[in-house]
Amino acid sequence: MFEIVLYEPEIPPNTGNIMRLCANTGCRLHLIHPLGFELDEKKLRRAGLDYRDMANISEYANFQEYLK
């Protein structure tokens, strides 16, 4: 299984599209904060948040937490 890491993503539609990709392919998505948007933002929902429940997503407060 592939692991996709987004470090401080800033563009909601791109992140939403990657969420959809992860949901459809079984990849795990790691989001490292701070995010440049809220996870419930309309642009993110339109691009793929409806797949959020199907995607394997982990969130981290910072890069050091991700490395643990």
Answering whether pTM is above 0.85, one says yes
The pLDDT value given to residue 45: 67
pLDDT single digits (tens) 23-68: 999 999 999 999 998 887 676 666 666 787 889 999 999 999 999 9
Report d(CA 48, CA 18) in Å as an integer. 8
Amino acid in position 63: F
Q: Is the dihedral of CA 41, 47, 51, 55 positive or negative?
A: negative
> With 90 as the cut, is the pLDDT of residue 2 above it?
yes
Q: What CATH number is attached to the domain comprising 7?
A: 3.40.1280.10
The pLDDT value given to residue 18: 94
Residue 37 has what DSSP assignment? S
Name the domain count of the chain: 1
Structural domain boundaries, residue 44:
3-67
